[in-house]
């Protein structure tokens, strides 16, 4: 009996299972008593929101797959069948369709949280890198999902994006043929995209599990970016953060519902209500809004191969971010210059998204080039140098200290310059 | 710090101003479209049932001569307020292929409510041959498939006019103020008196266009009314739950210094 776990659960059934497979102990340790910094603001909701979204996407996706036909002749009609004939099919599909956008909104804010509070810095580098893998998987999944309704934008989007790979010398055209399963975007393409669109979310679940597992080794970062010093700095995850996450989940679901029930197609393109037609190119091929910044980077470079490399590079650079940022201070609150520059980077990202909506002509070329340059400059030049030059503000002694300092009247010695906690 | 901040402001203010100016012409394009008052547009709007039925009459008498609506079935007409008997009668008036007879020969017969709307042409080639090379698009989703939605379709139907002097028209094309490029293959489909309404509504062109666009909007989004009704309840529930969870969280955190 040496390998058996000593379970402390009173319920005999739970105890019996837990002795043999300590999942209850694990849940208790990782989600109930898990010590969590007590100073989170609402930006720390977004990881939980992403998990909720992934779950809803998988559930709605399974029911959609039961009624969808991955065949070029039938796909468009089968989506209409879901929308019109399947019981509450319109609800399931609109939740799934808008869920893709919600997933990206939530994930982008989650990433911004990481950038602003330096969550990628040691010891959370691997946690961050797994997050980048999640982002890439999400993008691949979303792209292939958008192809499935087989509307005009599905078809032409697939054509444009798969053709990007042809830019690579020698192997490029072979990669494209492999992606297509033939010599143009056609039935084999749709079939493999459907298969992969069904597969990748489960891969995503696996990587998310590793992401969370790594998080539970290092512990969460917090708005002050300083390490937990004593049990006084933390609260048990349950009920404190389960309650706080619940508020975020309710608000988030309400926003999602507002799209689903009152403006389900506002984020989509009217062209996707026209069945795919290989003989007729739409006037303007635009990806979904969440790809627009990368699309703008691609189009801001006159050389196709370089453009493709810059586009993929803009994501891959995130992998090495923990080593590009040389500052040892995590939170932007104590980095007087970075605190501004991160917003400049956000602005560049938004400008890129805006430029991605328009044809690359005139001012949009200039704007997207400037923004692309800043995007790279920020990571490759500014962050390595800034870490050496910037003089950070003094850090508080502990997470509890600024709290006590505020309530207790007057800052404690040595923290005069530390900013008081902003109300979450 | 100070010079850095003003530098950033100097870089970004012009960028923001420039982008807002650039957005303006994109919106100006929209100005040409008429802005009709659609019963289904606003937050709690529903379809005007009388307009839906008149609109179906316009579709059946005029549009359906060239345009298919392949994603609709006759049974769907319950959604515009037709009774089961009325739907049966509508379907029975249409002859559709019904598989094969005992000898294996193709057989035709009256449609049933379970049948798809019958398309006017057997296939794309037949449709093009009969329409001067142009393909009349399927109308099931036309309102969703065009930028501007119902206003755009209404604009097309009411936008036929004499080409301005000096405007070069291709053979067989018609001038339309709303259509991109102003040359449309479809001849003006509706005019005053194109249909005689059963309910004695004046059959002016704007009325007919308004009714048929209402019908087409329903055809593209038949779930709209139910969707909004469920949506109100879902959002009220979530707002209520937000309040409850917020109260719970406040109470829990009351004894934590944070």
- Residue A184 annotated in active site: no
This model of the complex carries an ipTM of 0.88
State pTM to two decimals. Answer: 0.90
The answer to whether the Cβ–Cβ distance between B248 and A246 falls below 8 Å is yes
- Which of these, B66, B87, B85, B88, lies nearest to B77 by C-alpha position? B87
Under-70 pLDDT residues of chain A? 1-2, 402-424
- Residue A238 annotated in active site: no
The answer to whether the Cβ–Cβ distance between A347 and B12 falls below 8 Å is yes
How confident is the model at residue A403, as a pLDDT?
54
- Residue A368 annotated in active site: no
Specify whether the CB–CB gap between A237 and A34 falls below 8 A: yes
Angle at B200 between CA B196 and CA B201, to 5 degrees: 90
In whole angstroms, give the CA distance from residue A195 to residue A200.
9
- Which of these, B132, B6, B161, B130, lies nearest to B68 by C-alpha position? B130
- Residue A8 annotated in active site: no
Cβ-proximal residues to A14 (8 Å cutoff; 6+ apart), any chain: A7, A24
- Catalytic residue from among A233, A245, A269, A325: A245
Which chain B residue shows the shortest CA-CA distance from A76? B71
**pLDDT 10s digits, A93-141:** 999 999 999 999 999 999 999 999 999 999 999 999 999 999 999 999 9
Count of other CB atoms within 10 angstroms of residue B48: 17
Alpha helices in chain B (DSSP H): 2-28, 49-61, 84-92, 124-130, 149-158, 205-220, 224-253
B216 SS3 class: helix
The answer to whether the Cβ–Cβ distance between A80 and B141 falls below 8 Å is yes
DSSP state of B31: G
Half-sphere exposure of B94 (CA within 13 A, CB side): 23
Dihedral over Cα of A306, A308, A314, A316: its sign: negative
Query: Which residues in chain B are closer than 8 Å to A261, comparing Cβ atoms?
Result: 227-228, 230-232, 234-235
Angle at B85 between CA B81 and CA B86, to 5 degrees: 50
Measured CA to CA in angstroms, residue B209 lies from A379, B90, B163 at distances of 56, 22, 21
How confident is the model at residue B42, as a pLDDT?
87
Query: Which residues in chain A are closer than 8 Å to B248, comparing Cβ atoms?
Result: 243, 246
Count of other CB atoms within 10 angstroms of residue A382: 19
- Catalytic residue from among A18, A233, A269, A288: A288
B250 SS3 class: helix
- Walk along chain B (258 residues) and give the pLDDT tens digit of each residue: 344 444 445 444 544 444 444 444 444 444 478 898 999 998 899 999 999 999 999 999 999 999 999 999 999 999 999 999 999 999 999 999 988 999 999 999 999 999 999 999 999 999 999 998 999 999 999 999 999 999 999 999 999 999 999 999 998 899 999 999 999 999 999 999 999 998 899 999 999 999 999 999 999 999 999 999 999 999 999 999 999 999 999 999 998 877
Instruction: Give the percent of chain A with pLDDT over 90.
Output: 90
The answer to whether the Cβ–Cβ distance between A354 and B19 falls below 8 Å is yes
3-state SS of chain A is: CCCCCCCCCCCHHHHHHHHHCCHHHHHHHHHHCCEEECCCCHHHHHHHHHHHHHHHHHHHHHHHHCCCCCCCCCHHHHHHHHHHCCCCHHHHHHHHHHHHHHHHHHHHHHHHHHHHCCCCCCCCHHHHHHHHHHHHHHHHHHHHHHHCCCEHHHHHHHHHHHHHHHHCCCCHHHHHHHHHCCCCCCHHHHHHHHHHHHHHHHHHHHHHHHHHHHHHHHCCCCCCCCCCCCHHHEEEHHHHHHHHHHHHHHHHHHHHHHHHHHCCCCCCCHHHHCECCCCCCCCCCCCCHHHHHHHHHHHHCCCHHHHHHHHHHHHHHHHHHHHHCCCCCCCHHHCCCHHHHHHHHHHHHHHHHHHHCCCCCCHHHHHHHHHHHHHHHHHHHHHHHHHHHCCCCCCCCCCHHHHHHHHCCCCCCCCCCCCCCCCC
In whole angstroms, give the CA distance from residue A318 to residue A59.
30
**pLDDT 10s digits, A272-318:** 999 999 999 998 899 999 999 999 999 999 999 999 999 999 999 99
B23 SS3 class: helix
Count of other CB atoms within 10 angstroms of residue A137: 17
- Catalytic residue from among A244, A314, A331, A378: A244
How confident is the model at residue B180, as a pLDDT?
92
In whole angstroms, give the CA distance from residue A179 to residue A188.
9
In whole angstroms, give the CA distance from residue B77 to residue B116.
11
DSSP state of B176: B
B6 SS3 class: helix
Specify whether the CB–CB gap between A82 and A33 falls below 8 A: no
């Amino acid at each position: 009996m040496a390998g058996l776990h000593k379970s402390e659960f009173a319920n005999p059934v739970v105890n019996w299972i837990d002795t043999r497979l300590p999942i209850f102990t694990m849940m208790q340790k990782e989600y109930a008593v898990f010590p969590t910094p007590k100073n989170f603001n609402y930006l720390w909701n977004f990881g939980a929101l992403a998990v909720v979204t992934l779950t809803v996407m998988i559930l709605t996706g399974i029911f959609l797959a039961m009624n969808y036909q991955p065949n070029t002749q039938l796909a468009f009609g089968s989506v209409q069948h879901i929308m019109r004939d399947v019981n509450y099919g319109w609800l399931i599909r609109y939740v799934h369709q808008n869920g893709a956008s919600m997933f990206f909104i939530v994930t982008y804010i989650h990433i911004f949280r990481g950038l602003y509070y330096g969550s990628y810095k040691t010891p959370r580098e691997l946690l961050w890198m797994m997050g980048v893998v999640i982002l890439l998987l999400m993008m691949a999944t979303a792209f292939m999902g958008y192809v499935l309704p087989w509307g005009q934008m599905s078809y032409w989007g697939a054509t444009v994006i798969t053709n990007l790979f042809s830019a690579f010398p020698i192997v490029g055209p072979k990669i494209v043929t492999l992606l297509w399963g033939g010599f143009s975007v056609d039935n084999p393409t749709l079939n493999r995209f459907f298969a992969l669109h069904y597969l990748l979310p489960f891969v995503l679940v696996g990587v998310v599990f590793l992401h969370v597992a790594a998080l539970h080794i290092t512990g969460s970062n917090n708005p002050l970016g300083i390490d937990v010093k004593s049990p006084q700095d933390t609260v048990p995850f349950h009920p404190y953060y389960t309650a706080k996450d619940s508020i975020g989940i309710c608000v988030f679901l309400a926003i999602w519902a507002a799209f689903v029930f009152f403006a389900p197609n506002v984020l989509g393109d009217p062209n996707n209500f026209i069945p795919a037609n290989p003989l007729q190119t739409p006037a303007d091929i635009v990806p979904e809004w969440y790809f627009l910044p990368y699309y703008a980077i691609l189009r801001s470079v006159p050389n196709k191969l370089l453009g493709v490399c810059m586009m993929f590079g803009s994501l891959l650079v995130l992998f090495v971010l923990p080593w590009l940022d040389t500052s040892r201070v995590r939170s932007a609150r104590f980095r007087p210059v970075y605190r501004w520059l991160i917003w400049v980077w956000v602005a560049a990202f938004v400008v890129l998204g805006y430029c991605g909506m328009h044809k690359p002509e005139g001012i949009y070329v200039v704007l997207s080039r400037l923004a692309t340059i800043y995007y790279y400059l920020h990571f490759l030049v500014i962050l390595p140098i800034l870490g050496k030059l910037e003089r950070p503000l003094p850090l508080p002694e502990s997470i509890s200290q600024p709290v006590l300092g505020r309530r207790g009247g007057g800052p404690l010695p040595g923290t005069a310059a530390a900013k008081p906690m902003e109300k979450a | 710090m100070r010079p850095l901040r003003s530098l950033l402001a100097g870089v970004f203010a012009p960028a923001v101003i420039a982008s807002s100016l650039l957005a303006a012409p994109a919106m100006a394009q929209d100005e040409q479209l008429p802005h009709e008052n659609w019963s289904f547009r606003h937050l709690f709007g529903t379809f005007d049932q009388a307009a839906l039925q008149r609109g179906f009459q316009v579709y059946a008498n005029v549009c359906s001569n060239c345009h298919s609506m392949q994603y609709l079935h006759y049974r769907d007409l319950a959604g515009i307020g037709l009774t089961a008997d009325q739907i049966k009668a509508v379907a029975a008036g249409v002859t559709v292929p019904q598989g094969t007879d005992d000898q294996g020969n193709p057989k035709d017969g009256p449609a049933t409510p379970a049948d798809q709307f019958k398309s006017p042409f057997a296939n794309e080639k037949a449709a093009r041959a009969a329409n001067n090379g142009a393909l009349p698009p399927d109308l099931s989703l036309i309102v969703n498939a065009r930028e501007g939605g119902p206003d755009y379709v209404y604009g097309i139907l009411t936008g036929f006019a004499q080409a301005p002097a000096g405007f070069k028209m291709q053979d067989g094309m018609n001038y339309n103020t709303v259509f991109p490029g102003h040359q449309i293959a479809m001849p003006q489909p509706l005019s005053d008196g194109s249909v005689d309404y059963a309910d004695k509504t004046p059959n002016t062109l704007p009325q007919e266009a308004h009714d048929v666009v209402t019908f087409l909007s329903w055809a593209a989004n038949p779930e709209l009314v139910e969707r909004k009704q469920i949506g109100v309840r879902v959002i009220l529930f979530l707002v209520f739950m937000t309040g409850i969870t917020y109260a719970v969280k406040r109470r829990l955190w009351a004894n934590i210094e944070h």
